[in-house]
């Protein structure tokens, strides 16, 4: 597809075209770079602290300020750009990755690096607010769930494969060159988007719902609450997986455990892609119930390596498709306010990540890792209750009918 042809594509034309796999994979690559940009410092803390002559705790703040950038700016930026043509907004986010990852790679000042990381987080917040809505507009309504599954695959791939590869690359060529490599990937992605991702009109003035209006839309708050509880539960365990495994004498198996989670998560995405358009509600309920079962097993048998590996596999299988399920449910409920609702997801998701770190730290300090399972079970139980009561709006039964 040429650039000019892509620019003239309308949603009606998109519904008559073959499944746009290449364009959707470009969106997935955008998510991949966003997650990789966020998490790379975690695997390179030692190198960054040595290279910039700062403590590892100060290096860790490079992750914190990134999350703050997304948390504080996603909603206002996505709301502000609702009327803009959609591909330029996506490209603006990718250019942000290019500029600020490059600045991170060359900066010799800690404060300048913090600024660059904050602005990279801003770019990520904008990207996540655009990706879902763009993927939905590239296909007909009956294929929107499958399109979302493809577009969202970048995040788990980055977590399961990208971060270890980035860490290895940093050990080989240095942390600055690793960030430069991410910037080069952004250049290639810009070309990919220009040639394979269609452009769409922004929302007309009368079709730009505000934040309050979107929050009042039936189903939106229910989806946000499920996101908060589900992602919070996930991050309590994921953030403190190392001490959890150490308590089971499995610290040496951390890499294998995370790889197991990542592979299972990819399998979960594949299942969601195949069934989401017909069974979204069922998949949400089953995924939550599966995670609840994992919490029970870990609570009663968290010292058994075999059961831990099995539980991690089920955890990955049930959580891998969560972003696709939840963003699709949110977009269906929000209708014309889908992009604003997606920006709210970015905010709530980052809140849940931060809260997971805080809550897990308190639990670890006060009661030890043995308390994790029961808190997870309570959080997942709350999510199940909310999803169960949201049959009319948010998580409706049967095949998806939203456009």
Same domain, 232 and 194: no
Residues listed for the chain: 403
pLDDT at site 3: 41
Q: Is residue 397 part of a domain?
A: no
175 domain residue, yes or no? yes
Looking at the structure, do residues 268 and 321 belong to the same domain, yes or no?
A: yes
147 shares its domain with 272: no
pLDDT at position 127: 94
DSSP state string for 148-165: HHHHTTHHHHIIIIIHHH
Identify the pLDDT of residue 346. Answer: 84
198 shares its domain with 258 = no
Name the domain count of the chain.
2
CA distances (Å), origin 129, targets 76, 104, 241, 330: 11, 23, 29, 12
Last residue of a domain, one of 156, 176, 207: 207
Same domain, 231 and 255: yes
pLDDT at 4: 38
Residues 199, 314 within the same domain: no
Q: What DSSP assignment string belongs to 45-110?
A: HHHHHHHHT--HHHHHHHHHHHHHHHHHHHHHHHHHTTTS-HHHHHHHHHHHHHHHHHHHHH---H
pLDDT at 144: 84
Inside any domain, residue 148: yes
Query: What is the C-alpha to C-alpha distance for residues 203 and 336, in angstroms, rounded to an integer?
Result: 8
* Domain end residue (candidates: 171, 190, 207): 207
pLDDT in tens, 328-357: 899 889 887 877 888 898 889 888 877 887
Domain annotation covers residue 317: yes
Mean pLDDT in residue range 100-109: 95
Residue 64 domain-assigned? yes
Domain boundary among 187, 207, 227: 207
> How many angstroms separate the CA atoms of 292 and 58, rounded?
36
Confidence of residue 1 (pLDDT cuts 50, 70, 90): very low
Region of 368 on the Ramachandran plot (φ > 0 left; ψ -120 to 50 alpha; else beta): left
17 located within any domain: yes
402 within domain boundaries:
no
> Each residue of 46-68: pLDDT tens digit?
788 888 998 877 877 887 788 88
Residues 168 and 120 both lie in one domain? yes
Q: Which two tokens mark 388?
A: 């169960």
Average pLDDT value for residue range 297-324? 91
pTM greater than 0.85? no
Same domain, 185 and 224: no
**What token pair was written down for 286?**
């089953």
CB atoms within 10 A of CB 188: 10
> Tokens at residue 128, please?
């996540």
The mean pLDDT of the chain is: 86
Contact (Cβ atoms closer than 8 angstroms) between residue 146 and residue 275: no
- Closest C-alpha to 97, from 70, 78, 79: 70
Same domain membership, residue 221 and residue 154: no
In a domain, 340, yes or no: yes
Write phi, then psi, for 364 (nearest 5 degrees). Answer: -60, -45
Q: Which of 103-112, 126-135, 336-345 has the lowest mean pLDDT?
A: 336-345
> Which CATH number does the domain housing residue 79 bear?
1.20.1250.20
Q: E-strand spans in 213-309?
A: none
Question: Do 13 and 81 share a domain, yes or no?
Answer: yes
Indicate the pLDDT class of residue 203, thresholds 50, 70 and 90: confident
Which residues form the domain of 351? Answer: 211-388
Tell me the mean pLDDT in the region 150-154: 86
* Domain match, 318 and 181 both: no
Place of tokens 């991702």: 197
Q: Where residue 10 falls among pLDDT bands split at 50, 70, 90?
A: low
Nearest CA to 166 out of 3, 47, 328, 49 is that of 47
* 105 and 30 belong to one structural domain: yes
Give me 13's structure tokens.
Answer: 């034309």
Q: Name the least confident of 10-19, 25-34, 112-121.
A: 10-19
């Amino acid at each position: 597809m040429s650039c000019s042809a892509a620019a003239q594509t309308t949603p009606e034309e998109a519904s008559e075209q073959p499944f746009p796999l290449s364009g959707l994979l470009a969106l997935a690559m955008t998510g991949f770079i966003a997650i990789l940009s966020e998490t790379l410092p975690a695997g390179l803390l030692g190198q960054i602290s040595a290279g910039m002559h700062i403590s590892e705790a100060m290096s860790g703040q490079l992750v914190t300020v990134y999350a703050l950038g997304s948390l504080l700016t996603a909603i206002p930026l996505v709301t502000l750009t609702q009327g803009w043509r959609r591909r330029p907004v996506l490209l603006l986010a990718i250019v942000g990755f290019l500029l600020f990852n490059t600045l991170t790679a060359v900066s010799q000042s800690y404060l300048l690096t913090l600024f660059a990381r904050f602005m990279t987080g801003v770019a990520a917040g904008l990207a996540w607010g655009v990706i879902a809505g763009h993927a939905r507009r590239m296909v007909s309504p009956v294929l929107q769930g499958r399109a979302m599954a493809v577009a969202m695959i970048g995040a788990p791939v980055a977590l399961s494969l990208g971060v270890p590869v980035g860490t290895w690359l940093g050990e080989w060529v240095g942390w600055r060159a690793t960030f430069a490599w991410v910037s080069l990937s952004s250049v290639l992605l810009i070309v990919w988007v220009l040639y394979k991702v269609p452009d769409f009109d922004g929302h007309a003035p009368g079709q730009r719902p505000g934040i309050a209006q979107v929050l009042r839309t039936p189903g939106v708050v229910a989806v946000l609450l499920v996101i908060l509880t589900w992602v919070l539960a996930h991050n309590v365990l994921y953030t403190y997986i190392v001490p959890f495994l150490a308590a089971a004498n499995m610290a040496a198996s951390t890499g294998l455990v995370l790889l197991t989670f990542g592979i299972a998560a990819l399998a979960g995405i594949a299942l969601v892609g195949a069934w989401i358009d017909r069974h979204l509600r069922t998949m949400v309920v089953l995924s939550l119930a599966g995670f609840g079962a994992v919490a029970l097993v870990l609570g009663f048998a968290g010292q058994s390596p075999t059961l831990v590996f099995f539980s991690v596999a089920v955890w990955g299988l049930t959580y891998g498709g969560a972003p696709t399920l939840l963003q699709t449910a949110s977009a269906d409920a929000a209708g014309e306010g889908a992009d604003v609702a997606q920006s709210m997801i970015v905010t709530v998701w980052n809140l849940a990540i931060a809260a997971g770190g805080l809550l897990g730290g308190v639990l670890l300090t006060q009661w030890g890792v043995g308390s994790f399972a029961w808190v997870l079970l309570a959080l997942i139980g709350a999510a199940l209750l909310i999803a169960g009561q949201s049959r009319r709006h948010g998580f409706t039964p049967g095949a998806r009918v939203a456009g």
